[in-house]
Each structure stands twice: as structure tokens, then as C-alpha cells.
A and B are shown apart, each in its own frame.
Chain A
């Protein structure tokens, strides 16, 4: 079902930060088709509205896992949902992280803020198949220590390198400070044989991609997840256009070779 939402019940909620929650959902009856890492669902909060939200984990079975940051009317309504509450779900939509093309490569998973959410299922997939890929590096940035998501999972991602950095440290912070690109010098990768998966604010993705390409990573191997307003997710509303792309259909995951000329035109 792609046009009318299917009812799902919140079976678990986990507060990640002061404004971000991870919801686990189970279908009332019919379930949505299987999601791939990087794909998204349209989440409907009863009577309030519907917004695109990526899958943030892909458990076995029919359960869906999404991490939502409360920034406006709909995301706030989703954020307040208690266990037992109901939401409407449509999906899966969009392109996924192209892990098939990354096989045998070193991997750089680079996230800014909530951008770690759509990347987590890709990390899970790589860890589930350690011999399929080269070295895994997870680099994540957040505004402050209190905004870091999935903090307890980072140690399990050190294959061999996983670390976080913040823009604004607090008094207890002993970790790194600065933008996420500053971590690249310490990551373990051979640029010519590297695939990067990048998700975060657009400025962060552009700076990161530029840096990676400068270091010798092939532009088409830098995969970014782009964000535009989305009303339908089925290619009918026109809102998600980025030049030639309909991002609900041709994205959100796009190779930087295609994204670069589009992102470099202001207000395209």
C-alpha cells in the first residue's frame, strides 16, 4: 500500500536525546514491504500530517524502527507518542545506500546530527558481513555532547575506527571538538578503494564530499542522502525536485558525481 497509510502500533520508544526518540512499530495487519538501508517511510501522525523519516534499523520480521527528531508540528506529534499509540505508515520509498557497489572497499560512514539515523542500518549490514568489505570507519558529528545519538553503540562499530566530534563541548566532554571532516585524517582508508556514505546538513555533506574527492575518493563513490520537501513520496506532487531529480524516486541517496553540479547552483 503506497497511497493510503497502514496502521502501525508503537511497541517501544527509546529517548535518544532531549528532542529525539527511536520508535519501534508493529503492523496491525498488513505490513509494508521490506526496507533497504537508506530508504524512508512516510509517517502519519493522526490528523496532524505526514513526513518522510528514514529507517534507522531493520530488524528481522515485520517490525519497523525509526528515529525522529522533533523540529516542527508533525515530528513533535510523533515524538510525543507513547507505547500503544498508533501511526500510519507508507513505504518503502526511495533509493538505498548502494552497498553492492561498495563491496571490497574501505568504508567511510560520515554523519552529521540526525544523519546518523539513516546510516545505522548500513553500518549494521556491513558488520553482519565483515568479510564483504574492507575497513569500516564511522565518523559522526553533533552540535553538543547532549545531541549525540546511539552513543553506546559507537564502541561496537570500531572496525577499526569509530569516533564522534562535537561543535560545542560541555565541561565534561573529553572527546574531539570540531567539524566532522577534521576526523578524516585519522580514518583508515585507501582513497582509491573507498566508498563513503554521507548524511547530514547540506553544507556538511558538501564540505565532506569536497574533502574526500580532494583526497582521491571517486566522486561517484561518495554517496550522499539529500533532503527536500516531500508531500507524496510517489512521484506525483513535484515538491522534492532538485533539478532533474525527483528525490523521492531518484533519491534520497545520490552519487556525488550527480549531486555536485546541482548543489552548487544556489536555490535550485
Chain B
């Protein structure tokens, strides 16, 4: 898990170059040759999903998405851009922190003695192609949660350590995106092995590629490429800065952590309760929501037992169960837990926000609840209450 700062120079290796589509094809081939399992976006069943890529042909060339609260639709684009779509229903957490993992197995020997065998570390070596800046930050946040505390999670680390990250800067933000408010995008400035910026203009379809680690530079050196030229650099930079101007959503310009702390008893929570189904979709699609529960199972003999860990949601009634009942019995308290954790108490627990502004929770909420709208409403209520005599 390297955390490279900006562009890394390796003697003789390029730090910046321009790739064409065949460069992208070769990138996937090189990574596969290096023993990597390459995961990237592809179109399937009317959505842009993340899956193992055999070749760069599987990328969603010419596909875009239309996003709104509670709505997701893929659409054909006029051009052949590969990365002109924003976050889909999955995130990289599905690979780094999978929905279900076995943590250990235990045997009860005939003499009754217990022996426990921890799960062997995963040997997969991932390359993630097309990591958005917001999702790059989400991975850094998961690194902190799962690998940065006193206890480090071996299941996470075995998948994350050495993973090769290819960021793609955003040039086509969705209507539900607000990475600018969260300070996570649309540019990628650190934490990647390679970063691509896609440019489609009169001069053609190409990718400005920067390396951010020695391995990134080494991979770039193996690709068919040309030197980065000033017009491509300028086109890439303006596409990204224009994207920053076209964010579909924004957060109120206040300290969200303070806002969350000071509005725990706001009336707005009652309002959102009338709309929230407690379905937990928002927690499943969120790239940083990490909560899990455990399942203990035995085989038919009863002498072999396993501990599984699976994703859980703070919207589940049992999540806060104590002898005597759940602590958070009402849907109101569960939505409040989720939002105040994302925007507020995450800072106390893990030194950053838990939200990167990807907008997934807005898109995949069946009733279209929009956390930016909720934050604005809480801010307005707080301001009203403050100015009241």
C-alpha cells in the first residue's frame, strides 16, 4: 500500500505520455502479463458495472449515464469516450472488502479439544482500471478504517496491499456528483500508480497518462505512447477544470461536522423518516460504508464451525441490538446515525469525512433521498433556530 505523492521519477522511465486506444489495450495486456487481475468498468444489464477485464475492448466505449435522485440510465454518446460516465452501482469496496469473507474455521476433535485455523491470506493481485478521484479517496478512507488502526484486518490487507491503481480524472460529472464540495475531485493528484485524463477533440481520442509510482512508470514504459504535447495537456486540464464547474450537487458551505453535531434533535429528521424505507441501499452502494456482522455456522456433524463476516447496514433493526431491544428502534434514529456518521462522527473515529461526494446513495435510493438536500435543510433549520429570538 504505497501512498505516492504526485509524479514519481524513475531514471529512464517516462512520467508522462499520451496514449491512444491501442495504448489502453496494451495496458490491460501488460498488467495481465504481470499476473494482475484487472478490474474495470463494462456495460452489463443496462448499467456500468465493475468486472474482470480480459481486454480493454470491454470498456464502455461510447457509453454515458444519466443520473438523478432514484434514477440511473445508460445512454449512447455521440463520441467513443471510454470514461465519460460517473459512478455506477458498485465500488472498489466490493473487491477490497467483499460482501462475504470467511475469517476462520474451527474443529472440535473427538476428545473435545478445539482448534482454530485463521483464513489463509488471499493471493489475488489486483489492478483497478478507472478509479475516479472520489473513489481513490474512498480507498484511502477504507485503508484507514480497515488497515490503519490498532488492529489491521488481514482480509482487507491481503487484497489491498500491492493493488495497482489506475485513476481516471473526471471530465463528465453526473447530476448527482459533489466531489468539489468534499474536496475529493475531479482531479487526481496522489495515491495512484497511473492517472489517465481522457481527451476527445478535433485532434483525436487520446489519454494523457501520468505515473505516480515506480511501478506505474515501469508499466508506462512498456506501452506504445508518444511524448506529452502542450495542446493535449491543456485540453486535459481544461476538461477537468470545466468538470469542476459542472457539479450536479453541492453541500452547504459550512463545517459539516459541526452541523451534524449541532442538529441531532432537528425536526428535519422526522421529515426524512417519512420518506426513508430503511432498505439500506445507500449503505451497500457507498464506497466507504464498511460495517459488517458475523455469522457462525457449523456443518452437519456439528464438529466443524466457521466464522463468516458479511456486510451489514446501520439501517437494520438488529444492528444495534442489546438484551432488551435495539438501541435505534425508529427509522428516524437510523437515518440520523447514517448521515451523522458519514459527515460528522467519522472525523472523530477515523480523522476524515466518511463521504467522498460520489452521489451513489442519491442515485440508488428507491425514494430519491438526497443527502446534500438533507444537509441543506438541516443547515437552514439550524440557521432559523439560531436567529429566532
A: which residues have CB within 8 A of B? Answer: 2-7, 28, 44, 46-50, 71-72, 84-88, 227-229, 231-232, 234-239, 241, 243-246, 249, 265-268
| Bound Cα distance from A228 to B349, whole angstroms | 16
| Bound Cα distance from A28 to B106, whole angstroms | 14
Contacts A86-B112, A243-B340, A246-B349 aside, 17 further interface pairs with beta carbons under 8 A come to: A3-B118, A3-B154, A7-B113, A7-B116, A47-B296, A47-B297, A50-B296, A231-B312, A232-B294, A232-B309, A235-B145, A235-B151, A236-B149, A241-B341, A245-B349, A249-B150, A265-B264
Given contacts A236-B145, A266-B333, whether A228 and B112 have CB atoms under 8 Å apart is no
> Do A46 and B305 have beta carbons less than 8 Å apart?
yes
Task: List residues of chain A with CB within 8 A of the CB of B117.
Answer: 4
- Does B329 have its Cβ within 8 Å of any Cβ on chain A? yes
Given contacts A5-B116, A244-B349, whether A238 and B290 have CB atoms under 8 Å apart is yes
Task: List residues of chain B with CB within 8 A of the CB of A234.
Answer: 149-151, 153
- Does B80 have its Cβ within 8 Å of any Cβ on chain A? no
Shortest beta-carbon distance from B138 to chain A in Å = 16
Among B114, B146, B329, B341, which residue has its beta carbon within 8 angstroms of that of A46? B114
Shortest beta-carbon distance from B136 to chain A in Å = 22
> Do B116 and A231 have beta carbons less than 8 Å apart?
no
| Bound Cα distance from A60 to B113, whole angstroms | 24
| Bound Cα distance from A6 to B113, whole angstroms | 12
Among A46, A235, A239, A267, which residue has its beta carbon within 8 angstroms of that of B333? A267
> Do B114 and A7 have beta carbons less than 8 Å apart?
yes
| Bound Cα distance from A246 to B150, whole angstroms | 13
| Bound Cα distance from A267 to B151, whole angstroms | 28
Q: What 0/1 pattern do residues 112 to 156 of B give for CB contact below 8 A with A?
A: 111111100000000000000000000000000110011101100
| Bound Cα distance from A237 to B294, whole angstroms | 9
Task: List residues of chain B with CB within 8 A of the CB of A6.
Answer: 116
| Bound Cα distance from A248 to B340, whole angstroms | 19
Q: Interface segment, B166-174, B238-246, B313-321?
A: B313-321
> Do A244 and B345 have beta carbons less than 8 Å apart?
yes
Q: What 0/1 pattern do residues 331 to 359 of B give for CB contact below 8 A with A?
A: 01100010011001100110000000000
Give the 8 A-B CB pairs with smallest separation, nearest first. Answer: A244-B348, A238-B291, A267-B333, A234-B151, A47-B298, A86-B114, A7-B114, A4-B104
Q: What 0/1 pattern do residues 291 to 304 of B give for CB contact below 8 A with A?
A: 11110111000100
Given contacts A71-B323, A267-B328, whether A47 and B302 have CB atoms under 8 Å apart is yes
> Do B103 and A235 have beta carbons less than 8 Å apart?
no
| Bound Cα distance from A229 to B293, whole angstroms | 10
| Bound Cα distance from A48 to B46, whole angstroms | 42
B: which residues have CB within 8 A of A? Answer: 103-104, 106, 108, 112-118, 145-146, 149-151, 153-154, 264-265, 290-294, 296-298, 302, 305, 307, 309, 312, 314, 319-323, 327-330, 332-333, 337, 340-341, 344-345, 348-349
> Do A88 and B349 have beta carbons less than 8 Å apart?
no
Shortest beta-carbon distance from A221 to chain B in Å = 23
Can you list 18 residue pairs at the A/B interface with Cβ under 8 Å?
A: A2-B151, A3-B104, A4-B116, A88-B116, A227-B322, A229-B319, A231-B292, A231-B293, A234-B151, A237-B293, A237-B309, A237-B312, A241-B337, A241-B341, A244-B348, A249-B150, A265-B265, A267-B332
> Do A85 and B112 have beta carbons less than 8 Å apart?
yes
> Do B292 and A236 have beta carbons less than 8 Å apart?
yes
Closest to A7 in B: B114
Closest to B349 in A: A246
| Bound Cα distance from A85 to B113, whole angstroms | 8
| Bound Cα distance from A48 to B153, whole angstroms | 23
> Do A236 and B118 have beta carbons less than 8 Å apart?
no
| Bound Cα distance from A71 to B323, whole angstroms | 7
> Do B151 and A268 have beta carbons less than 8 Å apart?
no
Given contacts A7-B116, A28-B114, whether A232 and B292 have CB atoms under 8 Å apart is yes
Task: List residues of chain A with CB within 8 A of the CB of B103.
Answer: 3-4
Closest to B293 in A: A231
Shortest beta-carbon distance from A204 to chain B in Å = 13
| Bound Cα distance from A50 to B309, whole angstroms | 13
Given contacts A235-B149, A237-B292, whether A84 and B112 have CB atoms under 8 Å apart is yes
| Bound Cα distance from A16 to B377, whole angstroms | 54
> Do B320 and A228 have beta carbons less than 8 Å apart?
yes
Given contacts A236-B151, A236-B290, whether A7 and B115 have CB atoms under 8 Å apart is yes
> Do B146 and A236 have beta carbons less than 8 Å apart?
yes
| Bound Cα distance from A44 to B149, whole angstroms | 24
| Bound Cα distance from A48 to B297, whole angstroms | 7
Among A7, A44, A228, which residue has its beta carbon within 8 angstroms of that of B327? A228
Task: List residues of chain A with CB within 8 A of the CB of B290.
Answer: 236, 238
Closest to A5 in B: B116
Shortest beta-carbon distance from A144 to chain B in Å = 18
Among B118, B323, B329, which residue has its beta carbon within 8 angstroms of that of A72? B323
Task: List residues of chain A with CB within 8 A of the CB of B330.
Answer: 267
> Do B322 and A229 have beta carbons less than 8 Å apart?
yes
Task: List residues of chain B with CB within 8 A of the CB of A88.
Answer: 106, 114, 116
| Bound Cα distance from A2 to B321, whole angstroms | 23
| Bound Cα distance from A268 to B296, whole angstroms | 28
Shortest beta-carbon distance from A20 to chain B in Å = 13
Shortest beta-carbon distance from A19 to chain B in Å = 12
| Bound Cα distance from A236 to B101, whole angstroms | 14
Task: List residues of chain B with CB within 8 A of the CB of A5.
Answer: 104, 106, 116
> Do A235 and B291 have beta carbons less than 8 Å apart?
no
Given contacts A46-B305, A85-B112, A241-B345, whether A267 and B329 have CB atoms under 8 Å apart is yes
Shortest beta-carbon distance from A13 to chain B in Å = 15
